[in-house]
């Protein structure tokens, strides 16, 4: 997976010249750590979980990146994600490098107390390489604000001081930021809004299918519906639902929380009535004829095996790495534009940056101010990427990488390189 991630760089260097030292630095992670995390289970048994933390590059500042709990977490995946975070933070113009962490575990199989022990154990295992000026974690797949709160508390216990800025995505009462929970979906919507303006779309006529109905996917769907987009389909890990007349996103989400299944419903008070809909598979959702296919699940969802089945006009990546490089080539040949993850889903890390700033200053912002600041950054960086794509006549992904790599190259060069010794 990491080799696939690095393939993105090859197309970038066709358009910009960078020093060889930049290429060398960005080809390998600065630090990768694997740790065993012992957890006492509720039945008294001791289980050993494997945890990872990869700090890819810190040229532009302390590293930043989420922690995910998933059965498929491995070093290769975490390294790839840390590489993407490095580029993403540069694209957004944040004073951070990139990192990522994870634990190989199915969190759905743990009790809440076991989950807390695992989370605190992760911090004990990696405390020496974390910190507000070194490496700042955040939530990712199957982690949330509660887990971040446990982790912040454990770090404070170890360091004998309150350090809320060492981790972001915390609950509000523990120093979290307004707007953080919806930030990834909100930021992606701001990017899509700028894209729609460029293409003179009538938003009320734009149809959307969303793979992934977790935190980011749900908030994107909710906010997109409010803006006037028509959400026709959503999916979770068990399957998808589709309605040609559109879904009531908030009612679908509420029904899922209560009944643990997706269905098209209309809820009035405590009563939810079923509406007409089709149950389809995740593969069917990827092939729906819509204007925008939103990928908000996991990596490698659109590959060379199914890219020819995609009928959407545009793909919006909210997940990290949902389209493979080989699929990118097929989609480009078919004229399907991909708004890339390193731009589209950067809203989460932008508001994490806001949380870090607020924690350091001790001054907190109201939700409208957070949204305004997020909107300004997403609008600015999206339009820079769109302009670069037009200028170079390249894909949006290549343009986003050009934007991020130029910033990274500048920081690496200005710290000194071989040219300093050749005069």
Tokens of 94: 């944040």
Rounded Cα gap, residues 102 and 299, in angstroms: 15
Rounded to whole angstroms, the Cα distance separating 357 from 103 reads: 27
Is 256 catalytic? The answer is no
Measured distance CA(30)–CA(55) in Å, rounded: 6
- The interaxial angle of helices 396-413 and 367-392, nearest 10 deg, is 100
Q: Is 189 helix (H, G, I), strand (E, B) or coil?
A: helix
For residues 252 and 241, give the distance between their C-alpha atoms in angstroms, rounded to a whole number.
10
Fold of 183-339: Rossmann fold (3.40.50)
d(CA 119, CA 235): 28
The pTM is what? 0.90
- Whether 184 contacts 219, CB under 8 Å: yes
Asked whether the beta carbons of 205 and 358 are under 8 A apart, the reply is no
Domain ranges of the chain: 2-8+31-171, 183-339
Of 214, 188, 58, 33, the C-alpha closest to 125 is: 33
pLDDT tens string for the chain (423 positions)? 667 666 777 778 888 888 888 888 888 899 999 999 999 999 999 999 999 999 999 999 999 999 999 999 999 999 999 999 999 999 999 999 999 999 999 999 999 999 999 999 999 999 999 999 999 999 998 999 999 999 999 999 999 999 999 999 999 999 999 998 899 999 999 999 999 999 999 999 999 999 998 888 999 999 999 999 999 999 988 888 899 989 988 888 888 887 777 877 777 666 677 777 788 899 999 999 999 999 998 888 999 999 999 999 999 999 988 999 899 999 999 999 999 999 999 999 999 999 999 999 999 999 999 999 999 999 999 999 999 999 999 999 999 999 999 999 888 887 777 777 765
Question: For residues 188 and 381, is the Cβ–Cβ distance under 8 A?
Answer: no
Question: Do 290 and 207 contact (CB within 8 A), yes or no?
Answer: yes
Strands (E), 220-343: 230-236, 239-242, 265-268, 271-274, 278-280, 292-295, 314-317, 337-339
Q: Which CATH class is domain 2-8+31-171?
A: alpha beta
Kindly name the residue from 6, 30, 64, 100 that is annotated as catalytic: 100
Instruction: Confirm whether 2-8+31-171 and 183-339 share one CATH topology.
Output: yes
In the structure, how many helices (H) and strands (E) does the chain have? 14, 14
Ordered strands of the 314-317 beta sheet: 278-280, 239-242, 230-236, 207-211, 292-295, 314-317, 337-339
22/405 Cα distance (integer angstroms): 9
Query: What is the C-alpha separation between 9 and 409, in angstroms, rounded?
Result: 13
């Amino acid at each position: 997976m990491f080799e696939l991630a690095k393939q993105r760089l090859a197309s970038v260097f066709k358009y910009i010249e960078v020093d060889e030292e930049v290429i060398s630095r960005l080809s390998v992670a600065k630090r990768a750590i694997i740790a065993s995390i012992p957890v006492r289970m509720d039945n008294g048994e001791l289980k050993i979980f494997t945890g990872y933390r990869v700090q890819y590059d810190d040229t532009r500042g302390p590293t930043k990146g989420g922690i995910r709990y998933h059965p498929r977490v491995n070093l290769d995946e975490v390294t790839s994600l840390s590489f993407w975070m490095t580029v993403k933070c540069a694209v957004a113009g944040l004073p951070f490098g990139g990192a990522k962490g994870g634990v190989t575990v199915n969190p759905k199989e743990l009790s809440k107390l076991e989950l807390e022990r695992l989370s605190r154990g992760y911090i004990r295992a990696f405390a020496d390489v974390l910190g507000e000026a070194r490496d700042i974690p955040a939530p990712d797949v199957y982690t949330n604000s509660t887990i971040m709160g446990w982790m912040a508390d454990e770090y404070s216990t170890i360091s004998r001081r309150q350090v809320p800025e060492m981790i972001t995505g915390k609950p509000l009462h523990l120093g979290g930021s307004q707007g953080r929970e919806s930030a990834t979906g909100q930021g992606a919507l701001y990017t899509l809004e700028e894209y729609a303006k460029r293409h003179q779309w009538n938003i009320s006529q734009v149809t959307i299918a969303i793979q992934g109905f977790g935190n980011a996917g749900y908030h994107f769907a909710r906010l997109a519906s409010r803006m006037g987009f028509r959400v026709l389909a959503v999916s979770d890990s068990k399957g998808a639902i589709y309605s040609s007349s559109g879904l009531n996103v908030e009612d679908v989400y509420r029904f899922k929380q209560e009944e643990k299944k997706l269905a098209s419903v209309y809820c009035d008070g405590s009563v939810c009535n079923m509406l007409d809909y089709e149950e389809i598979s995740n593969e069917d959702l990827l092939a729906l004829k819509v204007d925008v296919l939103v990928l908000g699940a996991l990596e490698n969802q659109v590959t060379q095996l199914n890219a020819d089945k995609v009928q959407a006009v545009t793909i919006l990546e909210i997940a990290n790495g949902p389209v493979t490089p080989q699929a990118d080539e097929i989609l480009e040949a078919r004229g399907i534009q991909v708004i890339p993850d390193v731009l589209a889903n950067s809203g989460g890390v932008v508001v994490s940056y806001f949380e870090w700033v607020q924690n350091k200053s001790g001054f907190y912002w109201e939700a409208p101010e957070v949204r305004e600041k997020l909107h300004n950054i997403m609008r600015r960086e999206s339009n820079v990427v769109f302009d670069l794509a037009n200028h170079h006549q390249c894909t949006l992904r290549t343009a986003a990488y050009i934007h991020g790599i130029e910033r990274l190259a500048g920081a690496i060069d200005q710290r000194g390189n071989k040219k300093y010794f050749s005069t």
